[in-house]
Structure 1
Amino acid sequence: MNVDTLSIYKANLAEGPIYDIELDRLFWVDIEGKKILMKDLDNYSENAFDTPDLVSSLCIVNENEVIATIRHGFYIIDFKTKNITKVGEVESNYQENRFNDGKCDPLGRYWAGTMNMKKSGPTGNLYKLDHDIVKVLDGLTVSNGLGWDPENDIMYLIDSPVRKVYAFDFDLNKGEIYNKRILIDFNGEPGNPDGMTVDEEGYLWIAHWGGGKISRWSPRGEKVFEIKLPVTYVTSVTFGTYEMDRLFITTASKEDEPLSGKVFTTHVGVKGIPSYRFKKY
């Protein structure tokens, strides 16, 4: 399978790719570079926006605004006015923690988890931003990839250092999760599970941090397919284009790999589930 380089920008630690079908634009972040990147897939122009601290995930609000997790807080960023407005903050007393991956559910709630930057213990938590910020789950080391099945009955969450992909029963209307269980144990797989996305058939696509690939897994936790990348540190993946049949894959830099830190893309024979926008209250 041909994998092409998409981005001009080479990130230190690219993460959180989100494609917005209304804008036909791909967004991602460089956590350590403290930047939000935007790629217009109509004319292939590329732009960067500097953030005041480590930025780890984002959701689209509208044509001019996104909401992003920056260090300990949720912030609305207006690209037109350059204003950055704090919505709320968590764990500001836990200096070893920061926000990591996050996504919006189909009703526009922003789910985002925190991580222990030293990976020294399970001090991470999962939060939900609706009208307020609510802690949903604790005991995570590095809260990572999130996703929902096509019926919105199941939510998936990755904890990278423990190498587990969890599944939960999901109540979309209440925005609540129940019945945590292990769907995939990465023991025996190269690298740790990182970011992920879900396709319209309900299969999970998971990035292998340190494993140099993307893998596809059935809703029963069986690996069915993988795509090798020319870099070691693969961080996350999302679907995009109007047809929703192209993968966009973020990576992190490694000194002896010239293409590392770039965004890659490849066409696949299945469609993904579109990303959801944040519902601003």
Structure 2
Amino acid sequence: MIEPALNARATIGESPTWVASQSALYWIDVKAPALHRYQPTDGATQSWHMTSDIGGFALTEDGGAVVALREGIYRLDLDSGALHLLAAAPFDPALFRFNEGGCDAKGRFWIGVMFDPLKGTPDKRPGKLHSFTLDGGLRDEPDAAELHNGMAWSADDATFFLSHSNRREIIAFDYDCDGGTISNRRLFATVPEHLGIPDGAAVDSEGGYWSALHGGGKLRRFYADGTIDRDIDLPVSQPTMPAFAGENLATLYVTSASDGMSDAERAGEPLAGALLRLEVGQHGIARPHLVR
């Protein structure tokens, strides 16, 4: 059964992240920019509103957070809501913004980009993939795309997954967790045009890769070799990212978007922008959420 955990009516809900020590799910709304916290046990919520588009986040060991805003990487004080710039955006923020982020097992915060001009329609161009640490700051990584998504790591941290959404490609790399480097780029899977684009993703304990098909209204599970296992139809046309959460990481949460929909489309899709919850028969793997 698929049910709305939170009918948030998000513009672009994204990046659900389970924090087991708090029994809480954090997520963001990119365009109504905020970091949100949701507790499934009692439905309690808390929000921290941002000054510009937020493309990703990670928590810190001292109880704060790092957020990737359009203008740069900031430290967020969760008590006061204050923002402190850690690293300026390595691109023109009038043309690009950060998009999609996640931490590896060593606490490196990987963050992609999206070509998303504030005004005008210049020719599309790719932006660099980056990683970030509190000590080392931002580092360019050897990948570029108009729209990064789908970041996930295999259970043994030996494989890094990444989507080039506008090309409808899911890519796999060999991952050196000690050095934080990617290599041996290869095509993992593609998504046909009529099913939208591969957006955010999660990996389960059996090695399955769950991709949110934005525009296709589905979750697609791929086997570890890139072949298709199954699709799950969702009550939203723009799912954005799944994440395993809850006891034994047995529940899958999915963020969604209502961006670009007309009033009539929103009326016909009342759960657009909701945080959904479902059981899929698989368990997730515990993933780091702390940047170091």
CA pair 189-154 structure 1, distance change in 2 beyond 3 A: farther
Contact in 2 for aligned 1:101/1:146 (Cα 8 Å)? yes
34-43 or 173-182, which deviates more: 34-43
Residues 20 and 275, structure 1, Cα contact 8 Å, conserved in 2: no
Task: Give 1:124 deviation, angstroms.
Answer: 1.6
Distance 1:161 1:279 in 2: 28
Distance across 1 between alignment mates of 2:146 and 2:91: 17
Matched residue type, 2:42: N
How far is the alpha carbon of 1:234 from its aligned partner? 0.8
- Segment drifting more, 223-232 vs 87-96: 87-96
- In the TM superposition, 1:257-272 aligns within 5 A as 257-272=269-284
Deviation at 1:63, TM superposition (A): 7.2
Question: What residue identity is the alignment partner of 2:100?
Answer: D
Q: Is 1:206–2:211 an aligned residue pair?
A: yes
Indicate if the aligned counterparts of 2:86 and 2:137 stay in contact, CA closer than 8 A: no
Pairing 1:121–2:124 present: yes
- Tell me what 2:98 maps to: 99
Equivalent pair of 2:17/2:289 in contact (CA under 8 Å): no
Contact 1:23 1:63 in 2 (8 A): no
Say which structure is richer in helix: 2
Whole-angstrom distance in 2 between the partners of 1:200 and 1:66: 27
Measure, in 1, the Cα distance between the counterparts of 2:151 and 2:166.
15
Paired position in structure 2 for 1:79: 78
Q: Which amino acid in 1 is paired with 2:274?
A: K
Q: Does 1:36 align with 2:39?
A: no
Query: Structure 2 stretches of 5 or more lacking a match?
Result: none
Per-residue deviation, 1:8:
3.9
CA contact (8 A) 2:70 2:93 kept: no
SS of aligned partner of 1:216:
strand
Is 1:16 paired with 2:15? yes
Which residues of structure 1 form unaligned runs of 5+? none
Q: How many residues align?
A: 279
Q: TM-score, structure 2 length as denominator?
A: 0.91
The CA distance in 2 between the partners of 1:5 and 1:174, in whole Å, is 40
User: RMSD in angstroms over aligned alpha carbons?
Assistant: 1.6
SS of 1:6 mapped into structure 2: strand
Specify the code of the residue in structure 2 equivalent to 1:49. W
Secondary structure of the structure 1 residue equivalent to 2:183 = strand
Give, in angstroms, the shift of residue 189 of structure 1: 5.6
Deviations 1:214-273 (A, max 9, x none): 110011111101211111111111110121011010001142311100100011221111
Identical-residue share of aligned pairs (%): 26
